[in-house]
């Protein structure tokens, strides 16, 4: 987990990926199922420790490919 942000009642967990170029795919495409599970587990742990169980949650990915930046909101939903 790279960033955690709060906007009102919304908690946003952000995974940041970077590659020098997009020649072999965009950095945001490298958030695979293993990384997704880690992010979800980390978010659940964070919310339990901070007592934030009632907040809405969103998961984003920010990808840096050379000088190009791609921000994808709501990449996946929290699975309970």
The total of structural domains in the chain comes to 1
The percent of residues in the chain predicted with pLDDT above 90, rounded, is 51
The closest of 48, 8, 5 to 16, measured between CA atoms, is: 5
CA dihedral 28, 51, 41, 12 (to 10 degrees): -10
Distance CA 21, CA 70 (A): 13
Residue 77 lies in a domain: no
Tokens of 8: 């009102």
Residue 46 lies in a domain: yes
Residue 29 lies in a domain: yes
Tokens of 11: 């908690």
Tokens of 15: 């995974």
The percent of residues in the chain predicted with pLDDT above 70, rounded, is 95
Residue 22 lies in a domain: yes
Q: Over the chain, what is the mean pLDDT?
A: 87
List, for residues 41-69, the tens digit of each pLDDT value: 999 999 999 999 889 999 999 999 888 99
In this structure, what CATH number is given to the domain that contains residue 18?
3.40.1350.10
Residue 80 has pLDDT above 80, yes or no: no
Alpha helices in 1-80 (DSSP H): 33-49
């Amino acid at each position: 987990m790279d960033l955690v942000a709060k906007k009102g009642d919304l908690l946003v967990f952000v995974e940041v990926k970077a590659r020098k170029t997009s020649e072999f795919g965009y950095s945001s495409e490298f958030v695979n199922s293993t990384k997704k599970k880690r992010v979800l587990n980390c978010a659940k742990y964070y919310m339990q420790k901070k007592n934030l169980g009632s907040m809405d949650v969103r998961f984003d990915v920010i990808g840096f490919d050379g000088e190009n930046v791609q921000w994808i909101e709501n990449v996946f939903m929290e699975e309970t």
